[in-house]
Amino acid sequence: MEAGVRLSAGVSKWDIRTKIWDYMEANNLADFPRPVHHRIPNFKGASHAASRLPGLQEFKTAKTVKINPDAPQKTARFLTLEARKTLLVPTPRLRTGLFNKIVPPPGATKEILRICATSQGVKDYSVPIGLDAKVQVDLVVVGSVAVSEKGWRIGKGEGFADMEYAMMVSMGAIAEDTPIVTIVHDCQVVDIAEELLDDHDLTVDYILTPTRTIKTGCKRPKPRGIIWHKISYEILERIPILKNLRYREKQAGKDVILKDEHPDFPNARKPADSDENAKTGNTKLQTESASAQIGHRHVGNDSLSTKSETHGALTTVYVGNIPPGTRVSELKSALREFHASSLRLSWQGAQGRAFLDYTDKMTAESVVSSLKGLNLRGQTLRVEMAKNQRNKGQVEINGQRNKYE
């Protein structure tokens, strides 16, 4: 441990983060981006620390490795690709999904692999991995702000690494004994009181620094999935794929009562009223989603007495691959679960598709993101923006005009 990082008794997680960030800045221990505050520090010597990764037996035997997109893990991502292993990188802040699988071009040189390991490479050489993917992760590499030799870990405070792990557990992508590695500067290894850890906090099995490889021997149980009563509506709306996972677990009969619904939570909402009450959430996305919940119409059976209301500048979402025999009520129910009810719904079940109208493009795009991987009757739906938006009552899907007014 760096002698300069001194922690007094009774410090909080935030106190520890601030101490580490301040120390690294004061001693010029980090590269771009600076300052390191509120970040996973891109510490000097990160590449040397990551070079210890291939020496771990767990890395040698791993076929699929999940590594965070933070800058100090860039070399770890390169070494994983160089070893011809499957590399999974979480999508930034989980906005558009869970993982991206990095797929280097055939015959990629080391130079190309290094590009693939960067944030730009993730954009240019990756394919999304959905909740239905039968992926098995053999090793996980995460960033940290602070970590103890016992394996207690503190991130930057947003909880994404913990959330990613819990989601992988829920989708069956990792086992309880899947090893967790973190790569940090020596000054980030400090004494952390176990009392600071909560049951959702991720612990680590190995710590790699520029000077040491530390096997923690941590026996504290890791999270066993999403702890829904600690998830608020605000978090649910910020992470669309989380809503998808909650819907699946609810369908499987699991307890998915949110923090805001829990009886011990002040002014708790009733689960049965959650869809309606979710419209009063605090985030921008909740407001946008709520604006789409002013009603939904099943064109073909419903009266078109309000047809004039839908002639504004609407944005249309296409839903395809709907299983045969699915009823429109099943789709409407799923839309309500995701707070994505449309202003107007055009149902074409016989063709396995439907069209959803929303008041603006931003709302429609957030709905598409929320519904990615949506599963009805064991079949994953295809959800995307309609290629040609409303033009004299028509949209175009796969080159074919579809009239639905």
Convert the pLDDT of each residue in 216-243 to its tens digit: 999 898 888 888 888 888 888 777 778 8
Percent share of the chain, pLDDT over 70 = 80
In the predicted model, what is the mean pLDDT of residues 17-29?
Answer: 95
pTM exceeds 0.75: no
End of a domain among 215, 232, 256?
Answer: 215
Is 36 in the same domain as 160?
Answer: yes
Instruction: Assess whether 97 and 188 both reside in one domain.
Output: yes
User: Which residue, 187, 215, 243, sits at the end of a domain?
Assistant: 215
> Does the residue 24 lie in any domain?
yes
Q: Specify if 63 maps to a domain.
A: yes
- Is the pLDDT at 330 greater than 60? The verdict is yes
Please compute the mean of the pLDDT values over residues 146-175 and round it to a whole number: 88
Residue 224 lies in a domain: no
To 10 degrees, what angle do helices 328-337 and 240-251 make?
120
> In the predicted model, is pLDDT for residue 312 greater than 70?
no
- Looking at the fold, whether 190 and 309 belong to one and the same domain comes out as no
Element (H, E) at 162: helix 160-170
E-strand stretches of 113-231? 126-129, 139-142, 146-147, 153-154, 180-183, 206-208, 213-215
Amino acid at 282: N
| Residue 377 amino acid letter | R
| pLDDT of residue 127 exceeding 80 | yes
Token pair listed for 394? 């028509």
pLDDT tens track for 339-387 = 788 888 999 988 899 999 998 888 888 888 778 778 787 788 889 998 8
**Domain that includes residue 394, residue range:** 298-403
Cβ atoms of residues 206 and 52 within 8 Å: no
Q: In terms of domains, do 157 and 303 share one? A: no
Q: Which of 215, 240, 259 is the last residue of a domain?
A: 215
* Residue 284 placed within a domain: no
In a domain, 161, yes or no: yes
Q: Is residue 8 part of a domain?
A: no
Rounded Cα gap, residues 268 and 266, in angstroms: 5
253 part of a folded domain = no
What are the two backbone dihedrals, phi and then psi, of residue 270, each rounded to the nearest 5 degrees? -80, 135
Which residue matches tokens 């009520």?
A: 329
Candidate ranges 11-15, 236-240, 290-294, 333-337; pick with highest mean pLDDT: 11-15
CATH number of the domain bearing residue 59 = 3.40.50.10420
* Domains identified in the chain, total number: 2
Q: What's the pLDDT at 304?
A: 31
pLDDT at 119 over 90: no
Give me 261's structure tokens: 């619904």
The CATH number assigned to the domain holding 342 equals 3.30.70.330
Instruction: Give yes or no: residues 193 and 305 share one domain.
Output: no
Q: What does the pLDDT look like over 190-218, one tens digit per residue?
A: 999 999 998 888 999 999 999 999 999 99
**Mean pLDDT value across the chain:** 80
Instruction: Tell me the mean pLDDT in the region 315-338.
Output: 87
- Domain-embedded: residue 158: yes
